[in-house]
Amino acid sequence: MKTAIQQTLHEGGITLYALLALAIAIYATLYGVWRHLAASRKLAFSDGASPAETHRQYAACELDEMAWVERRLPFLAILISTAPLLGLLGTVAGMLITFSGMASGSNAPLDTISTGISRALVTTQAGLVIAIPAAFLLALLKRRAETTHLEMQRQLHTQLAANSQPSLKTETLHLAN
């Protein structure tokens, strides 16, 4: 006796296995980008001892870490948009099975027709179930990357201004004397 998951995988055919592999790739990449973004935030917002150190940390984070994140976002968008298309491919394959069964004559086995319809519906559903939450997560990641970039710039300017003010006060005192 097959479990519900085994039955669904069987009904979805090879396309459902491809969708499963795509889902793993999408969500593993989303997780990797999320972790990398968190590490970037940690690196960027660690306390620098001097303006030069602060600038170095920001530059390293901006050039390496944030660039890595931003390169993966378009790749993720492509992966996510592929899921419904792959589901549609499964729909077409299922409909071909259905029409093949119907074309075999008036005594077409209901098994063949129902298998085709099932494959069409299961793969369409799987493509949408994979893509919709992933699209929301991608939007959150993009927003988080933008926010991180803006926060890093703000912190850099704040620290540079704070670290340069004492030297201005000292120069003003020396000029006054």
- DSSP assignment of 127-170 equals HHHHHHHHHHHHHHHHHHHHHHHHHHHHHHHHHHHHHHHHHHHH
Asked whether the predicted pLDDT for residue 167 surpasses 60, the reply is no
Token pair, residue 128, equals 């949408």
Asked whether the predicted pLDDT for residue 176 surpasses 60, the reply is no
Using one digit for the tens of pLDDT, what is the confidence trace for 54-102?
Answer: 667 777 777 677 788 888 999 999 999 999 999 999 999 989 888 888 8
pLDDT of residue 74: 94
pTM above 0.85, yes or no: no
pLDDT of residue 103: 79
pLDDT of residue 133: 98
Task: Over range 24-49, report the average pLDDT.
Answer: 83
Most confident of 47-56, 101-110, 143-152: 143-152
Residue 163 makes CB contacts below 8 A (sequence gap 6+) with 50, 51, 54
Asked whether the predicted pLDDT for residue 5 surpasses 80, the reply is yes
